[in-house]
């Protein structure tokens, strides 16, 4: 069923299992906010699974990597609420041992998915330096420790735990982005199918905004939902994740967020990483 055929106000919603998303959607998932006449069919998946299924047309609204959003800009718009962007939030390029650097194409780098923003940043800053293999993000550090790869692009909770694993830090890709652009790094956001009726997109956006406001006002209440899906079960790590990735731009991208998205699109286009025919990404503005 395409979005155009969606006559029953049923929204196929995909969100990731990472703590900032389960924090944001806690109230929606548990119907602690009014669904305003809509019904949500919800899938919680790894970010690359979400990216792939968005390409396949499986969702009306979904969390996705901004790399994917830029690649699908002709089909989807970005919602103002629900994004993960900021300073000091970037993926880390890790090595299996301290001191190793990606300089040889016989080396192997593990990435968390072809259409993740982490992979886009690696391509921007380390083009053609190593072979690439994609795997689930939670497998990257264990595989580095097992000497199954030379490097890994680490996202999510691993940002806080990599030092305990004896790995080496090659580069904070987010810091590299900040130095280059002076913008917060846009990692991922919520997108909506542009064929949905405008009033439906408005309602979805309002529900997500209200769900996030609920969690911000009742932080501890979201922990059971976060624990249910997290790879890391320590509450302090979960809340560190929220404190890092949930901020004023999660409530509303605003002009700063829109500018950061434009910068990412511009750099990716200049390096030939999106193709030549993509239209600029649009951020939804209320029809009201």
The Cα–Cα gap between 53 and 13 comes to 11
**SS3 assignment for 197-255:** CHHHHHHHHHHHHHHHHHHHHCHHHHHHHHHHHCCCCCHHHHHHHHHHHCCHHHHCCHH
pLDDT band at 247 (very low <50, low <70, confident <90, very high): very high
pTM, whole model, 2 decimals?
0.88
pLDDT band at 287 (very low <50, low <70, confident <90, very high): low
CATH 3.40.190.10 for domain 3-86+185-270, yes or no, is yes
Residue 271 has pLDDT above 50, yes or no: yes
Average pLDDT rounded to a whole number, residues 97-110 = 91
Torsion sign (Cα): 148, 177, 85, 122? negative
Looking at domain 92-181, which of 2.30.30.90, 3.40.190.10, 3.10.310.30, 3.40.50.300 is its CATH number? 3.40.190.10
pLDDT of residue 12: 98
Catalytic residue among 67, 115, 126, 156: 156
pLDDT band at 212 (very low <50, low <70, confident <90, very high): very high
- % of the chain at pLDDT higher than 90: 73
Same fold flag, 3-86+185-270 and 92-181: yes
| 156 in catalytic set | yes
pLDDT digits (tens, 9 = 90+) for 166-179: 899 999 999 999 99
The Cα–Cα gap between 174 and 266 comes to 17
Contact (CB, 8 A) for 230 and 19: yes
Residue 118 has pLDDT above 90, yes or no: yes
The Cα–Cα gap between 163 and 195 comes to 46
The Cα–Cα gap between 253 and 262 comes to 12
Contact (CB, 8 A) for 63 and 190: yes
pLDDT of residue 197: 95
- In three-state secondary structure terms, 162 is helix
Average pLDDT rounded to a whole number, residues 99-114 = 91
Average pLDDT rounded to a whole number, residues 118-133 = 94
Average pLDDT rounded to a whole number, residues 230-234 = 73
Average pLDDT rounded to a whole number, residues 253-260 = 95
The Cα–Cα gap between 26 and 136 comes to 24
Contact (CB, 8 A) for 186 and 266: no
Domain ranges of the chain: 3-86+185-270, 92-181
Residue 7 has pLDDT above 90, yes or no: no
């Amino acid at each position: 069923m395409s979005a155009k055929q969606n006559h029953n106000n049923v929204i196929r919603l995909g969100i990731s299992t990472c703590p900032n998303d389960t924090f944001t959607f806690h109230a929606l998932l548990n119907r602690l906010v009014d669904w305003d006449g809509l019904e949500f069919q919800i899938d919680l998946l790894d970010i690359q699974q979400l990216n792939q299924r968005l390409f396949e047309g499986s969702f009306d609204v979904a969390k996705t990597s901004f790399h994917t959003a830029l690649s699908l800009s002709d089909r989807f718009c970005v919602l103002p609420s629900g994004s993960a962007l900021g300073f000091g939030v970037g993926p880390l390029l890790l090595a299996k041992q301290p001191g190793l650097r990606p300089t040889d194409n016989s080396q192997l780098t593990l990435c968390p998915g072809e259409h993740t923003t982490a992979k886009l940043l690696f391509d921007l800053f380390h083009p053609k330096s190593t072979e690439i293999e994609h795997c689930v993000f939670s497998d990257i550090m264990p595989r580095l420790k097992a000497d199954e790869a030379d490097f890994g692009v680490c996202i999510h909770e691993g940002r806080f735990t990599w030092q305990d694993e004896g790995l080496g830090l090659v580069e904070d890709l987010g810091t590299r982005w900040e130095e280059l652009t002076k913008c917060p790094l846009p990692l991922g956001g919520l997108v909506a199918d542009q064929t949905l009726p405008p009033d439906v997109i408005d309602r979805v956006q309002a529900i997500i905004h209200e769900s996030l406001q609920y969690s911000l006002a009742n932080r501890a209440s979201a922990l059971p939902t976060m624990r249910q899906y997290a790879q890391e079960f320590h509450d302090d790590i979960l809340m560190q994740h929220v404190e890092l990735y949930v901020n004023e731009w999660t409530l509303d991208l605003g002009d700063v967020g829109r500018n950061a998205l434009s910068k990412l699109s511009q750099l990716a286009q200049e390096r030939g990483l999106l193709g030549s025919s993509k239209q600029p990404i649009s951020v939804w503005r209320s029809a009201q």
